[in-house]
Amino acid sequence: MTENTNIIVLGAIEYSSIVIGLFALDQMVKVAPIQIIDARTISSGKYLIIFSGDVASVEYAYKAGIEVGESFIVDKLFLPQVHPGVIPAIGNTINIGEWDTIGMIETLSIVSGIESADSAAKEGGVKIIEIRLADGYGGKSYVKMMGSLDAVQAAIKAGTEKARKKGLLGMDTIIPQPHNEIKPFFMKKK
């Protein structure tokens, strides 16, 4: 049995040091051909690297980033078989047209926000509208999703589980039957 190298894998590492983060980024792209989705300084003086690619490339780059960062790592994620709705929502607002129950998860790290979005999306029945990445939020991240009330309840439960276990869950909420007046603010682009 051969390994499928076309599977898209997502990796993310959040560092408490900007200098270490930049050094890790250089080392990671030197060891493997990965696609950098985002790499930058974020609130609270941290550095974020989000990357994707095939399984082997992401695994090699992830290991290099962990080795370089060691004690400076705030949170990390190696996510094989990322849900297809996650990557487009990272740092973007996805307009889905329908207006249904809203679910939101706030995490204390960006990586936990991405992980929460993936778990929520995999639970099924929700669309990930946005994964906001710590810009002006004190290093926090939040995920917005939409679907039927039952689907959002199940997705919130699944999405908060890992962040709660890691001690990185901020808050979560569900807004059933949201008023139309909040739609432009909920769907607002950056």
- What are 41-84's pLDDT values in tens digits? 988 889 999 999 999 999 999 999 999 999 999 999 999 989 99
Distances (CA, A) of 117 to 18, 104, 144, 184: 25, 10, 8, 22
pLDDT at 98: 82
- What are 150-188's pLDDT values in tens digits? 999 999 999 999 899 999 999 999 999 999 899 888 887
Is residue 156 domain-resident?
A: yes
Residue ending a domain, among 80, 114, 138, is 80
What domain range is 15 assigned to? Answer: 9-80
pLDDT at 1: 29
Distance CA 59, CA 10 (A): 9
Mean pLDDT, the chain, rounded, equals 90
pLDDT at 6: 53
Residue ending a domain, among 80, 102, 134, is 80
pLDDT at 74: 93
Judge whether residue 138 has pLDDT over 80: no
CATH number at residue 68: 3.30.70.1710
pLDDT at 135: 67
pLDDT at 4: 41
Q: Are 76 and 111 in contact (CB under 8 A)?
A: yes
pLDDT at 124: 84
- What are 5-44's pLDDT values in tens digits? 455 899 999 999 999 999 999 999 999 999 999 999 988 8
Q: How far apart are the first and last CA of the chain?
A: 45
Indicate whether 181 and 142 sit together in one domain: yes
pLDDT at 184: 85
List 171's β-bridge partners, or say none.
Answer: 106
Indicate whether 68 and 100 sit together in one domain: no
